[in-house]
Amino acid sequence: MLPVQTLNHPGYETATAGTIKVFRLLGVPVRLHFTFVLMVVFITVSVLGSAQSNSGYAVFLLGSLVSVLLHELGHALVASRFGVRTTEIVMFPIGGLSRMERPLAPTAEIFVALAGPLVNLLLAAGIFGYLFSTHAAPLVNVADLLQPSHKSPLALLLYGNILLACFNLLPAFPMDGGRILRALLSYIRPEEEATRTAAWMGRMLAISMGLYGLLAPQFMLVFFALFIYLGAAQESVAAMGRSLTHGVPIRAAMITKFHTLEHHSTIRDAANLLLSTSQQDFPVVHGTEVVGLLGRNLLIRAIASEGPDAYVAGAMDRDFLALEPHADLAEVLPMMAQAGRCALVMENSRLLGLLTTDNLSEFLLLRRFGMEPTV
């Protein structure tokens, strides 16, 4: 039987949409969001086009990237002390994001959130100690951090790390301070209400920053404000999803009426099934054994590259995700966040149903309006 990935599969990873994997840091995949790549291109063009000497500023930018990575690594290391694995580190224009395999308990979240800013403060202290011992002048201003100058890259990194730590400690999502605020409120309020409060503060911070950026004008602040607002809104939606699914088994939201394909079926057979039904993901079986999963995207790609007479066995995904029907639905929400993702619900190698993002969205909508699932 083919090895399948389950909810507890140690090698299972769900990549954030719109990212590319560049390397691993202590076993954690580091990915770049496409907006981060665009920002790097923009800054590179700006630096190269500046009349100022840009070699020192380039060192500062590289050092800032390392500082952000070490910040996220601090989160990952402390999370591992609480038995929570970091599935990926994603680099966004406003900083990094460490994605955990499951939500943290309030106490753990406080320590994990504090770890990142603490790393930046330790880096700043180390740089200050070196500059002090060499009698170098560490005086810079904020404007020097935003454009090339003749200031020492170490002095820029000193203030950059202090600003990064202070900014992340603001009590608003998606910053670390917002997570600390949410964790503290969770001791006296439900998680959804605590998250809503921290997310509201994040949206207010983003609106204030955006208005200031428009009036200053500092359009980079407007750019950052947009990402803060979106991050706060996304966290609020995620918290609501967790509250609606906590304690609900996967079997309550799975699709039980579905079509399958035989391993000897052709791409033409799969295309006809795609057109005649509303289903977009098809389990591929060999007798009673599930051997793969053919999704809509893989099907379209196979039609273009292999033709309609090719077999589905050559196009299907053999490394599909299998979930147990009694598992907590809240635990799979991060995995199902990927567009088009479909998981197979199986018990003792027997296929019971499908869990798709579309059906999960409908399930959450019904739960929000008070309709209880029938298990």
Q: Is the pLDDT of residue 12 over 50?
A: no
| Average pLDDT over every residue of 210-214 | 89
| Residue 88: strand pairing partners | 99
Amino acid occupying residue 86: T
pLDDT for 2 equals 36
For residue 86 the two structure tokens come to 């970091």
* pLDDT tens string 87-134: 888 888 777 888 887 778 899 999 999 999 999 999 999 998 988 888
Average pLDDT over residues 192-213: 88
pLDDT in tens, 34-62: 878 887 777 777 666 555 556 777 787 78
The whole-number average pLDDT for the span 257-281 is 93
pLDDT of the residue at 5: 44
What tokens does 268 get?
Answer: 């033409």
Domain at 250-368: CATH code: 3.10.580.10
Q: Are 89 and 97 in contact (CB under 8 A)?
A: yes
pLDDT the model gives residue 353 = 93
DSSP bridge partners of 21: 31
CA 310 vs CA 233, 300, 303, 316: distances in Å: 44, 12, 8, 11
Rounded to an integer, what is the distance from CA 202 to the centroid of its chain?
A: 18
Task: Write the DSSP string, 246-302.
Answer: TT-BGGGTSB-S---EETT-BHHHHHHHHHHSS--EEEEEETTEEEEEEEHHHHHHH
Domain boundaries, the chain: 5-169, 250-368
The four Cα atoms 145, 88, 17, 10 give a dihedral, to 10 degrees, of 180
Q: What is the dihedral of CA 326, 332, 335, 338, to 10 degrees?
A: 100
Structure tokens that stand for 100 in this block: 């955990």
pLDDT of residue 172: 83
User: What pLDDT score does 23 carry?
Assistant: 83
The answer, as to whether pTM is greater than 0.85, is no
d(CA 274, CA 280): 6
Q: What is the Cα gyration radius of the chain?
A: 24
Residue 20: pLDDT band (50, 70, 90) is confident
Q: How far is CA 18 from CA 14, 33, 38, 348, in A?
A: 12, 6, 12, 35
Helix (H) or strand (E) holding 21: strand 19-25
Q: What mean pLDDT do residues 50-77 have?
A: 81
- Residue 219 φ then ψ, to 5°: -70, -20
Mean pLDDT (whole number) for 224-249: 80
